[in-house]
Amino acid sequence: CGEDNVITVWADNSDDPSYPPGKPQDALDFAYFGGIYRDCWMIVHNKVFITDPNYENETAGGGLFVSFDKVSEQSAQLKLDAHIRNTSRKSFGGKILYELYDRDDKRVLSKEAGLSVSKGLAKQISCKVTVETPHLWSPDSPYLYKLHIYIKDKAGNTIDGYYRRIGIRSIEFKGKDGFWLNGKPYPYPLMGANRHQDFAVIGNALPNSLHWRDAKKLRDAGMRVIRNAHYPQDPAFMDACDELGLFVIVNTPGWQFWNDQPIFAQRVYSDIRNMVRRDRNHPCILAWELSINEIRMPEEFIDRAVAIGHEEYPGQTYIAGWMKYGYDIYIEARQHRKEALYSKPLIVSEYGDWEYFAMNAGFEQERWSDMLPEERSSRQARGSGEVRLLQQATNVQEAHNDNLSTHAFADGYWAMFDYSRGLLPDLELSGASDVFRLPKYAAWFFRSQRDADEGTPFSEPMVFIASEWKPGISRGVRIFSNCEEVELTLDGCSLGRRTPDTNTMSNRLPHPPFSFAASCEKPGTLT
């Protein structure tokens, strides 16, 4: 008392094969940089307080756990579990109070329960409440309530408390009937992307505002589901996905590395528990991906990982993995596709990268036999020029069109943003946008696949001219749009009016591109 206190934290991210991801950082396809690069909080509380779930290490317990049952437009049942610890020298008696507020700060309900905790002990308190005519959370209506929790003593004094945002929703996979949200079949495709948090110059140490901005850009591009490849991402990003309406597949850290020493699996199990406990109250959670990416794992490990996922989130939850064995959801990378798996839900998790589909900008399907491999690649910098950016967009289009022939309920492009790597000094350039988040042509293709009139956020008519109109380079003009017809003009003179392309790369797309046989003999303004 009355003196300075020093808190010392020692952070060590030295290469260690016993800690996932295990692979040396200079061999990873993504880079973790040193130090503590996310928000840290020092929480000061009284001697009776609501605990932290990971500190307490209680299976499906600790802290506040909000889950749902019997969700419909008429009513929804909320199960509220709170873990209270008493560190004082005497028993505590009082009550726990919940208050739920809507978006307009109107109180929807209030629920209290008696609370008695012996000295030096902790107690889990459970209760159920029913919300009448709830506003249900969905990607297209991401409605969030505020749930306040208070610990009060017998005199009515607030001893501890806080609030968090929650979304009321239910998800279910019904085999051939597909994906159901809030008791109804979901009417739109879950088009998505993988996301690395790395940002130009900053690296991994993004401020919360940039995490929110990334989520907004993903939503603007037409995405409804994001795969956090390949690690749990910042809580600020999860909050933004709750707010903006993005489903999230959360990943345990790991890539192309397995250690047979038992300590490695035990630390993966610990990561799984910590991850589920941290993120379990987010309505954006679609599934927990509890597999080490792109490495064969022992079946006994998979069995235990899946069991832990269901232990930590009892009730309605889904565990995903990239191996066919054991998981509730099979995650299949399109480039690794060998056979469809119809016995469980399927996500096409990575596509559009390195497809080598050499084609002249989609115009008349004329193949460019003289293109070099690096020109055919989907890995193109934003400054690579029209020909290469159109090639990348063509590869993405071909793969997305093919995905729509499968029974997958969701697909995810690899990757939405360029990012830096540990294993190579250059950027990974698969992104539909660059490392500054500036869009390439492929980003506009994704946006064009959203209906203009579906009546949901981020749906509106759009048109993008994917041409720099340069003599000797531009062989026709491709346009990405979700409209029924497009008219193209050059310096005010019409070059024609077209309906969407019809070819084998467009036959399943909601909105195929438009191709114009315009010859670029001189500069001008395309409209």
- For residues 447 and 217, the answer to whether their CB atoms sit within 8 Å is no
pTM attached to this predicted model:
0.94
- Cis omega (within 30 of 0) for bond into 230: yes
- Give just the sign of the alpha carbon dihedral 336, 338, 343, 345: positive
CA distances from 114 to 4, 59, 363, 482 (A): 39, 23, 71, 57
> DSSP string of 370-387?
T--HHHHSS---TTS-HH
pLDDT tens digit at each of 527 positions of the chain: 688 989 898 888 889 999 999 999 889 988 776 788 899 988 889 999 999 999 999 999 999 999 999 999 999 999 999 999 999 999 999 999 999 999 999 999 999 999 999 999 999 999 999 999 999 999 999 999 999 999 999 999 999 999 999 999 999 999 888 899 999 999 988 999 999 999 999 889 999 999 999 999 999 999 999 999 899 999 999 999 999 999 999 999 999 999 999 999 999 999 999 999 999 999 999 999 999 999 999 999 999 999 999 999 998 899 999 998 999 999 988 866 666 667 889 999 999 887 655 444 444 344 445 677 788 889 999 999 999 999 999 999 999 999 998 888 999 999 999 999 888 888 999 999 999 999 999 999 999 999 998 777 778 899 999 999 998 888 899 999 999 999 999 999 999 999 999 999 999 999 999 999 988 888 899 99
Q: Which of 322, 326, 273, 321 is nearest to 299 (CA)?
A: 326
- For residues 493 and 465, the answer to whether their CB atoms sit within 8 Å is no
Helix axes of 441-448 and 386-403: crossing angle, nearest 10 degrees: 30
Q: Which of 415, 256, 250, 409 is nearest to 341 (CA)?
A: 409
Q: Which of 208, 282, 212 is nearest to 247 (CA)?
A: 282
